[in-house]
């Protein structure tokens, strides 16, 4: 028995490669979770993964920048950069001491994110974990998402507890703690 693939099969015009396969896998896993345990519970499971990724990415960026903590401006730049590196198109709309508002024109998951809002918990947790671990606190509000059919995303990372923050729907993150 040989390991060679039949030439006629190997040359088929299929849009199948590792990136598409992995994005589809994540889409189907999150969809199955949403269907079996509901959106809220699925979001919780995916949040665990996002938190772990956020802690690792935070360490990677701090090591590469040779700093022990990121400033607010660096947090904003890091969040834009990490999404750029995975083919997202995030950008800063505004930032001040109380919040950073991001827009996004392209999801790293592409069309695989459609109708899978639980997948947005990866963004929430990565953004929240990095912001909170460097600045002490974050609350991430996913105001608009491509997953829910919006043409782009609008993500607000609140950095201080204010009246606006308390009124916002989102997840809170604290330095060294999991999401609340």
- Tens-digit pLDDT profile for residues 119-141: 999 999 999 999 999 999 999 99
Give residue 103's Cα distance to chain centre: 13
Q: What are the structure tokens assigned to 67, written together? A: 């700093």
Q: How far is CA 111 from each of CA 20, 68, 70, 162, rounded to the nearest angstrom?
A: 10, 37, 32, 35
Q: Where residue 161 falls among pLDDT bands split at 50, 70, 90?
A: very high
In b/e form, how buried is each residue of 34-71, taking b as 16+ CB within 10 angstroms?
Answer: beeeeeeebbbbbbeebbebbbebbeebbeeeeeeebe
Q: At what angle do helices 72-85 and 120-135 cross, to 10 degrees?
A: 150
Q: Quick: pLDDT tens for 29-69.
A: 999 999 999 988 988 889 899 999 999 999 999 999 999 99
Rounded mean pLDDT of 101-109? 97
Domains in the chain: boundaries: 16-174
Q: What is the pLDDT of residue 117?
A: 92
pLDDT computed for residue 1 by the predictor: 55
With beta carbons less than 8 A apart as the criterion, state whether 109 and 27 touch. yes
Q: Whole-model pTM?
A: 0.88
Between CA 51 and CA 13 the distance in angstroms is 38
| pLDDT tens digits along 63-92 | 999 999 999 999 999 999 999 999 999 999
CA distance 95 to 40: 29
| Level-2 CATH architecture, domain 16-174 | 2-Layer Sandwich (3.30)
Tokens of 172: 């809170």
How are the residues of the chain apportioned to helix, strand and coil, as percentages rounded to the nearest 5? 55, 15, 30
Q: SS3 of 159, please? A: coil
- Return the pLDDT at 110: 93
């Amino acid at each position: 028995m040989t390991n060679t693939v039949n030439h006629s099969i190997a040359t088929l015009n299929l849009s199948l490669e590792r990136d598409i396969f992995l994005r589809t896998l994540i889409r189907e896993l999150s969809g199955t979770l949403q269907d079996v345990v509901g959106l809220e519970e699925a979001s919780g499971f995916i949040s665990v993964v996002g938190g772990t990724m956020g802690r690792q990415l935070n360490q990677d960026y701090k090591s590469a920048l040779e700093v022990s903590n990121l400033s607010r401006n660096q947090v904003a730049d890091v969040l834009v950069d990490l999404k750029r590196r995975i083919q997202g198109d995030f950008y800063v709309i505004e930032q001040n001491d109380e919040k950073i508002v991001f827009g996004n024109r392209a999801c790293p998951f592409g069309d695989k994110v459609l109708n899978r809002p639980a997948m947005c918990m990866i963004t929430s947790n990565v953004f929240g974990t990095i912001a909170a671990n460097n600045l002490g606190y974050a609350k991430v509000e996913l105001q608009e998402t491509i997953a829910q059919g919006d043409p782009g995303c609008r993500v607000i990372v609140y950095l201080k507890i204010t009246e606006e923050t308390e009124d916002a729907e989102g997840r809170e993150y604290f330095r060294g703690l999991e999401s609340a």
